[in-house]
Amino acid sequence: MTQKLEVSFNSPQCGWMSIGFDDGVNEFHTTTAHAPHERALPELMDILTALAGRDDVAREYTLKWNRDPEEFDFRFVRNGEELLLEIYQYPTDERDAAERELVYSYNGSVSAVVSAFAETFDQLYEDRETDEFEFNWRQPFPYREFKEFKSRL
Protein backbone atom coordinates (compact mmCIF):
# COMPACT_ATOMS: atom_id res chain seq x y z
CA MET A 1 0.00 0.00 0.00
CA THR A 2 1.30 3.43 -0.95
CA GLN A 3 1.79 5.86 1.90
CA LYS A 4 0.30 9.37 1.73
CA LEU A 5 2.67 11.92 0.26
CA GLU A 6 3.21 15.14 2.18
CA VAL A 7 4.86 18.06 0.40
CA SER A 8 6.03 21.18 2.19
CA PHE A 9 7.26 24.44 0.71
CA ASN A 10 8.00 26.77 3.58
CA SER A 11 7.94 30.54 3.52
CA PRO A 12 10.83 31.91 1.45
CA GLN A 13 13.63 33.77 3.19
CA CYS A 14 16.30 35.87 1.46
CA GLY A 15 15.80 34.13 -1.91
CA TRP A 16 15.75 30.61 -0.43
CA MET A 17 12.89 28.22 0.27
CA SER A 18 12.91 25.08 2.38
CA ILE A 19 11.04 22.20 0.74
CA GLY A 20 10.30 18.68 1.88
CA PHE A 21 8.76 15.40 0.77
CA ASP A 22 7.64 12.72 3.21
CA ASP A 23 5.64 9.56 2.55
CA GLY A 24 5.91 7.97 5.98
CA VAL A 25 8.69 5.65 4.81
CA ASN A 26 11.11 7.94 2.99
CA GLU A 27 11.67 11.64 3.28
CA PHE A 28 13.77 14.32 1.65
CA HIS A 29 14.30 17.91 2.77
CA THR A 30 16.44 20.61 1.23
CA THR A 31 16.52 24.29 0.40
CA THR A 32 16.10 25.70 -3.07
CA ALA A 33 17.15 29.02 -4.51
CA HIS A 34 15.17 31.52 -6.55
CA ALA A 35 17.93 31.70 -9.19
CA PRO A 36 19.21 30.80 -11.73
CA HIS A 37 16.07 28.74 -12.45
CA GLU A 38 13.79 31.71 -11.87
CA ARG A 39 10.75 29.99 -13.35
CA ALA A 40 11.05 26.76 -11.33
CA LEU A 41 8.00 27.40 -9.12
CA PRO A 42 5.66 28.51 -11.94
CA GLU A 43 6.96 25.68 -14.15
CA LEU A 44 6.26 23.19 -11.36
CA MET A 45 2.68 24.46 -11.23
CA ASP A 46 2.43 24.17 -15.03
CA ILE A 47 3.72 20.58 -14.95
CA LEU A 48 1.26 19.56 -12.24
CA THR A 49 -1.57 21.29 -14.12
CA ALA A 50 -0.74 19.26 -17.23
CA LEU A 51 -0.44 16.04 -15.23
CA ALA A 52 -3.83 16.66 -13.59
CA GLY A 53 -5.45 16.83 -17.03
CA ARG A 54 -7.49 13.84 -18.13
CA ASP A 55 -5.91 13.87 -21.60
CA ASP A 56 -2.36 13.56 -20.24
CA VAL A 57 -2.30 9.80 -19.53
CA ALA A 58 1.32 9.03 -20.40
CA ARG A 59 3.79 11.86 -20.13
CA GLU A 60 7.14 12.70 -18.63
CA TYR A 61 8.31 16.07 -17.36
CA THR A 62 11.59 17.20 -15.81
CA LEU A 63 11.84 20.36 -13.74
CA LYS A 64 15.25 21.92 -13.08
CA TRP A 65 15.81 23.61 -9.74
CA ASN A 66 18.91 24.49 -7.73
CA ARG A 67 20.37 25.05 -4.31
CA ASP A 68 23.69 26.55 -5.48
CA PRO A 69 25.98 24.95 -6.30
CA GLU A 70 23.89 21.76 -6.19
CA GLU A 71 21.15 21.29 -8.74
CA PHE A 72 18.03 19.13 -8.78
CA ASP A 73 15.84 17.45 -11.35
CA PHE A 74 12.27 16.78 -10.32
CA ARG A 75 11.16 14.05 -12.71
CA PHE A 76 7.45 13.27 -13.09
CA VAL A 77 6.40 10.20 -15.09
CA ARG A 78 2.69 9.55 -15.58
CA ASN A 79 1.43 6.15 -16.64
CA GLY A 80 -2.36 6.10 -16.68
CA GLU A 81 -3.54 7.04 -13.21
CA GLU A 82 -0.13 6.36 -11.61
CA LEU A 83 2.55 9.01 -11.15
CA LEU A 84 6.20 8.50 -10.32
CA LEU A 85 8.07 11.41 -8.74
CA GLU A 86 11.85 11.17 -8.64
CA ILE A 87 14.22 13.82 -7.32
CA TYR A 88 17.81 13.69 -8.51
CA GLN A 89 20.60 15.77 -7.02
CA TYR A 90 23.68 16.90 -8.94
CA PRO A 91 26.76 18.06 -7.01
CA THR A 92 27.32 21.06 -9.33
CA ASP A 93 25.55 23.13 -11.94
CA GLU A 94 27.23 21.05 -14.66
CA ARG A 95 24.40 18.49 -14.32
CA ASP A 96 26.59 15.49 -15.17
CA ALA A 97 24.19 12.52 -15.32
CA ALA A 98 26.99 10.19 -14.23
CA GLU A 99 27.29 12.11 -10.95
CA ARG A 100 23.61 12.52 -10.15
CA GLU A 101 22.07 10.77 -7.17
CA LEU A 102 18.46 9.72 -6.70
CA VAL A 103 17.58 11.34 -3.36
CA TYR A 104 13.83 10.73 -3.30
CA SER A 105 11.26 8.62 -5.10
CA TYR A 106 7.52 8.26 -4.68
CA ASN A 107 4.98 6.32 -6.72
CA GLY A 108 1.28 6.95 -6.20
CA SER A 109 -1.89 8.02 -7.89
CA VAL A 110 -1.92 11.19 -9.95
CA SER A 111 -4.64 12.64 -7.75
CA ALA A 112 -2.69 11.91 -4.53
CA VAL A 113 0.49 13.60 -5.80
CA VAL A 114 -1.34 16.59 -7.24
CA SER A 115 -3.36 16.97 -4.02
CA ALA A 116 -0.19 16.90 -1.91
CA PHE A 117 1.28 19.76 -3.93
CA ALA A 118 -2.05 21.61 -3.88
CA GLU A 119 -2.01 21.71 -0.08
CA THR A 120 1.40 23.36 0.07
CA PHE A 121 0.64 25.74 -2.83
CA ASP A 122 -2.55 26.80 -1.03
CA GLN A 123 -0.50 27.54 2.09
CA LEU A 124 2.05 29.58 0.11
CA TYR A 125 -0.79 31.53 -1.46
CA GLU A 126 -2.57 32.14 1.84
CA ASP A 127 0.64 33.31 3.55
CA ARG A 128 2.07 35.31 0.63
CA GLU A 129 1.41 38.74 2.12
CA THR A 130 2.27 37.85 5.72
CA ASP A 131 5.49 36.20 4.57
CA GLU A 132 6.26 39.00 2.09
CA PHE A 133 6.62 36.33 -0.58
CA GLU A 134 7.75 38.58 -3.42
CA PHE A 135 10.38 40.34 -1.32
CA ASN A 136 11.69 37.16 0.28
CA TRP A 137 11.58 34.96 -2.85
CA ARG A 138 12.93 37.78 -5.03
CA GLN A 139 10.19 37.04 -7.58
CA PRO A 140 6.48 37.61 -7.89
CA PHE A 141 4.06 34.94 -6.75
CA PRO A 142 3.03 32.88 -9.83
CA TYR A 143 -0.64 33.94 -9.76
CA ARG A 144 -1.50 32.89 -13.32
CA GLU A 145 0.01 29.43 -12.92
CA PHE A 146 -1.57 28.98 -9.48
CA LYS A 147 -5.01 29.93 -10.81
CA GLU A 148 -4.67 27.52 -13.75
CA PHE A 149 -3.47 24.75 -11.43
CA LYS A 150 -6.43 25.28 -9.07
CA SER A 151 -8.86 25.16 -12.01
CA ARG A 152 -7.73 21.58 -12.79
CA LEU A 153 -8.43 20.23 -9.31
- Domain locations in the chain as residue ranges: 6-151
- Per DSSP, the three-state class of 88 is strand
In the sheet that 27-33 helps form, which strands lie side by side, from edge to edge?
Answer: 6-9, 16-22, 27-33
Note whether 104 and 8 are within 8 A (CB). no
Strand partners, 62: 75
- Per DSSP, the three-state class of 101 is strand
- Residue ranges of E strands in 91-133: 101-109
The pLDDT of residue 2: 65
* Amino acid symbol at 148: E
pLDDT one-digit tens code per residue, 27-80: 999 999 999 999 999 999 999 999 998 776 678 999 999 998 999 999 999 999
The pLDDT of residue 134: 95
pLDDT one-digit tens code per residue, 78-109: 999 999 999 999 999 889 999 999 999 999 99
Distance set, CA 79 to CA 55, 58, 82, 86, 111 (Å)? 12, 5, 5, 14, 13
The pLDDT of residue 56: 62
The pLDDT of residue 53: 84
Helix 40-52 and helix 143-151, axial crossing angle in degrees, nearest 10: 10
The pLDDT of residue 54: 72
What's the whole-model pTM score?
Answer: 0.94
Q: Decide which of 2.60.40, 3.30.2450, 3.30.300, 3.40.50 is the CATH code for 6-151.
A: 3.30.2450
Note whether 92 and 71 are within 8 A (CB). yes
The pLDDT of residue 68: 86
1 has pLDDT over 60: no
